Chains A and B, each alone.
Chain A
C-alpha cells in the first residue's frame, strides 16, 4: 500500500488559540489507517483543544500549521463537512439536547452524511434495522434510543451513546476525548469494549486521556505525551505505563526524551 493511501491524518506544526490564549504550540502528529494513538498529558496541556480543533469548533482558532485529512486540508471545512468526510469526535461532555429524540437525531445525522456521500438515505425501517445490529454488537440496550439526546443520561450512558453514534456513523477517524472520565470500572469496560469492536484496518482512532487505566482496555499502537501544546514524547503502550508509575512531573523534569522514529511519520 502506498503511504499516501494509508495516511489518515497529518498534523504539522499546529498552533491554536482559545480566547486569544495560545494552547497548541506546534503540534505534530501522523496517524495512519488502522492505528490507535493515545494522547496523554496533564490537565491544560491542550488535549481537548486538539479534539475541538479537529472537529471544527468555533472559538478554536488555528494560527499556524496545517491539518491534512486523507490528504485534504481539514481546516477549511465546516464542522458538518468534516463529519460527512469521516471525522468523529466523541465528546468529553456530550451535550444534552432536550426535545430531540435520540433516534430521530441519529437518523437525521446519518442521512445527512449519506446524502453528502451520494448514497441513498435510509428509511425508518432500514435505519432501525441498522440500529438493532449495532446495539447488539455493542451490547447496549435500546432504552437510550427512546430518550432525548443525552438528556438525563448518567455519565456512563452519555459515553455509551457517543460510542453508539460512532458505530452508526462509521467514521474513518474517531477522536475520543476523555472517554473514560466520570466512568466507574464497569462502565469503562463496556465503553472500551465498544471501542475495541470498532477497531478496523480502515479506521484510525485518537484516544485522548489523562489516565492510563483506559489504555489497559483500549491498547494503543502508539502513545504520545502532550505537554504545553506540543507532543513531547512518543512511544508504544509501554510509555503509558511508565507515565502511570512516574507521573507527568518526572516527564517535565526532562527524565524522558522524545523517541526518535516512534511517531510513525
Chain B
C-alpha cells in the first residue's frame, strides 16, 4: 500500500500499533493488549485541554516512531557505560530497553525475571496489577501504549522478611539506533517485611534521539520498605516518560528521591495508594532545567487508611527558556483519620524566560488530619548573594553555591553518603552556567 503516513502523530502511532502488538503471553494479556490499543486509537495523545497534560506539550515526540523489540537495541555491542551511581549494588543494565544481568550478583531471597518469565511465574499476582491500570482517555495514552506494546520488562520480587540490598538499574540508550519510543514494564513485588533499595540511573554517554516509556508498578506488603532513587541525566534529545504506581499495605514505607537533570522532555508520575494503616510515602525530588528543556512531575498520593503519613517535597531550578511543571495531589479519603500530609514545592527562576507551573492540591475528607502545603516560585536571595561576595566569592560562584544548595535540600535526604555525594556532583554539573537565554 502506498498510503501516505498520516500527519498526525497519534494517527501514525495508531496505524503502527496493529503490526507491533506482541502475539505471545496468556489469553487475558492478549485481550488486555487489544483493549489498550483500542483505547489509544480512540483517545489519541493528550493535548492542551487534558488537565493533567495542560502544561506539557508533546511536539518533541513528533520525530519518534513506535517500534518492535527487533528495532530496540543491539545487544553485545561495545559501548561506553556510565560509571555506576552507587557501590555495592547488583546491577541490571537496560540497553535500549533490553535488560541484562548476572544471576550470580543477585542476593538470596531476591528474584529477578524478564517480563515474559515474570508473567509466567507470577501470573496470579500480575494479572490484577495489569488490569488495575486505567487505560481510558487521552491522559492515559502512555499507559495504554505501554500495556499494548511492552514486551520488555523486569520483575523484582523480594521474599518476606528479606533484605535485598541495593539494585541498580542502569538505563542506557545506544547511539545510532532509530528514533523510537520504547516501552518498558517494571514490577516490584515486596512481600511483607521485605526491603529493597532500587536505584535507577538514566544516563546515556552519547547524544541519542529517542524516547522511553517506563511503567512501574510496585506492591508493598505489610511493613515492606521500598527505597527508590531515580536519577536521570539523559541527553538533550531524549524523551523520558516514567510512571510509578504503588499499592502499599499496612506500615509499609516508600521513600523516593528523584533527580531530573537532563532530557528534552521528562515527565514522571508517581501514584501512591496508602491502603493499609500506618503506611508512609516520603517523596522528594529536585530538578535542574536549562535551554528549552521541559520537566513535569505529577505526584498523587491517596490516603485510604488511618494513621498514614505522606510528604511531597520538590525543588526546581530553571534557567534559559525552560519550563517546569509540578502537580502534587494528596487525597485523604473518609476514614483515613489521623493522617499527616505535607506538600512543599519551591522553585528558583534564574532566567526571565523560564516558566514554572506549580499546583499543590489537597483534598481532605477525613478527621483529625494534619496537613500543610506550600508552593513558591522566586529568585535567588540578593542578601545571601551579597553575604557570600563580601567573603570573597565572585558573583557567579555565589549564585552557583546558592542554587546548588537549594537542591541539596533533596540530595541531603538521600541515604548512603557515597550515593548522595555522587548525585550532588551530577546536580552541580547540571546547573545552568549563566542566566542567558
Contact = CB atoms under 8 A, between A and B. Distances in A.
Question: Do chains A and B stick together as partners?
Answer: yes
Contacts of A55: 386, 390
B47 interface: no
A97 to B, nearest CB: 5
B17 to A, nearest CB: 47
A148 B408 CA distance: 11
B389 A79 contact: yes
A259 interface: no
B405 A97 contact: yes
B101 interface: no
A112 B383 contact: no
A169 B391 contact: yes
Interface string A76-119: 00111011100011010011011110000110111011001000
B393 interface: yes
Contact of A113 (B382, B383, B392): B392
Interface string B82-118: 0000000000000000000000000000000000000
A55 B385 CA distance: 13
B381 interface: yes
A197 interface: no
Nearest to A57: B386
Contacts of B395: 78, 80
Nearest to B386: A57
A98 B387 contact: no
A49 interface: no
B26 to A, nearest CB: 51
B390 A79 contact: yes
Contacts of B412: 99
A97 B384 contact: yes
A81 B91 CA distance: 49
B130 interface: no
B241 interface: no
A66 to B, nearest CB: 21
Contact of A109 (B383, B392, B405): B392
B375 interface: no
A18 to B, nearest CB: 14
A147 to B, nearest CB: 12
B389 to A, nearest CB: 4
A105 B401 contact: yes
Nearest to B401: A100
A110 B391 CA distance: 8
Nearest to B393: A112
Contacts of A80: 389-395, 398
B409 interface: yes
Contacts of A83: 389-392
Interface residues of B, number: 25
Given A79-B389, A97-B384, A112 B408 contact: no
Given A58-B382, A95-B381, A95-B384, A109 B406 contact: no
B383 A95 contact: yes
Interface in A16-57: 55-57
Interface residues of A, number: 30
Contact of A105 (B383, B388, B409): B388
B402 interface: yes
A99 B409 contact: yes
Interface in B351-407: 381-384, 386-395, 397-398, 401-402, 404-407
Contact of A100 (B382, B383, B394, B405): B405
Given A113-B392, A169-B392, A99 B386 contact: no
Most chain-A Cβ atoms within 10 A of its Cβ — which of B392, B395, B398, B407?
B392
A109 B388 contact: yes
B388 A99 contact: no
B392 A112 contact: yes
A165 interface: yes
Contacts of A99: 404-409, 412
A56 B392 contact: no
Contacts of A84: 392
A165 B388 CA distance: 12
Most buried by A among B381, B383, B390, B401: B390
Contacts of B387: 91, 94-95, 97
A58 B408 CA distance: 27
Interface string B68-81: 00000000000000
Interface of B: 381-384, 386-395, 397-398, 401-402, 404-409, 412
* 9 residue pairs, one from A and one from B, having the closest CB atoms: A99-B405, A109-B391, A95-B387, A83-B392, A79-B389, A113-B392, A112-B392, A100-B405, A80-B389
9 contacts: A78-B394, A83-B392, A84-B392, A91-B387, A99-B406, A108-B397, A112-B392, A112-B393, A112-B397
Given A79-B389, A83-B392, 20 more contacts: A56-B389, A56-B390, A57-B386, A58-B386, A78-B394, A78-B395, A83-B389, A83-B391, A91-B387, A95-B381, A95-B387, A97-B388, A97-B402, A98-B409, A99-B409, A100-B405, A109-B391, A116-B392, A148-B405, A165-B391
